[in-house]
Structure 1
Amino acid sequence: MRHVTVLTLCDAVSVREGLLHVLGGGITRLERESFPAPLLCNIATMVEVENVADEGHIDIVLRLLKAEAGGESLLSEISFGADYGPNDVLSLDAPAAIPLAVEAANLGLPGPGRYHVAALLDGKEAARISFWAGLSPETPQA
């Protein structure tokens, strides 16, 4: 069994010695001076895998989506894979936690509104978070 245990926008994220280090996690509101604008956030993700007696591979896709009337549009997609095995756990009875630090600061936001980040494991959506992007209150309206 595989599932996403962490999916969050954050100011900074890194992985060291199997640990996920998150700074300023849980971002749900972004203010920008104008649009289009860069995301200027990173994505922290943790995937838990049970039954790691054998080595395996998992395919992970993160999608940046913009909510629109009648649906949503795909803005960006980041695909990568991760290998795991018995060396990733202290006991074969324990699940393996696969931490992932995704640099997403340069992904583009076309305009203000509601956005989603969806995490897919092996082609199926496993988690989703939402955030809102808008103009900074100090920004003069044109």
Structure 2
Amino acid sequence: MFCDFAQVREGLLFVSSGGVTRSLRDELPAPIGVFLAMVIELDRFEAQQQHTLLVRVIDEDGKELAEVNGTFEFGSPEMLLIDEQPSIPITLDIRNVAVERYGPVLANIYVDGQILHGVNLHVMQSPNS
């Protein structure tokens, strides 16, 4: 989800003003002005492996505005209760990603090369401008 602010502390995801769907900008180009927060859920087998994360932020024409990649792993699944699902909270500070035009922006989230989810944001002209 897009949000005003997000952080992970002691394995917990903290989100402020989550569910942002619009980014109002007086003029362009301008920074997009949001964080991206997510929780990746794994099964017990996947929790024992290292995974790749790729996030591509694109505009409506498919132009790449930003790409963030890295790796993550859960750690020891022995810490889990029998019916507990392993999950990894992740935040990305993409506030300074530049947008050059008004319209939809999509953040595609890939884990191990497979698309996991897409999150939409509409960059719109501020009504005050």
TM-score, normalised to structure 1, is 0.83
Q: CA RMSD in A?
A: 1.8
1:78 matched to 2:71? The reply is: no
Q: Which has the higher strand share?
A: 1
1:126 matched to 2:119? The reply is: no
Shift of 1:90: 2.4
Q: Which residue of 2 aligns with 1:104?
A: 94
| Paired AA for residue 26 in structure 1 | G
Contact 1:52–1:84 (CA under 8 A) maintained in structure 2: no
Which aligned segments of 4 or more residues in structure 1 are displaced greater than 3 angstroms?
none
Can you give the 5+ residue segments of structure 1 that lack an aligned partner in the other structure?
1-7
Q: Tell me: CA distance 1:30–1:134, structure 2 relative to 1, closer, same or farther (3 Å).
A: same
- Identity percentage over the alignment? 26
Once the two structures are overlaid, the 10-residue window that deviates more, 25-34 or 44-53, is 44-53
Q: Which residue of 1 aligns with 2:128?
A: 138
TM-score, normalised to structure 2, is 0.91
Contact 1:65–1:73 (CA under 8 A) maintained in structure 2: yes
Can you give the 5+ residue segments of structure 2 that lack an aligned partner in the other structure?
none
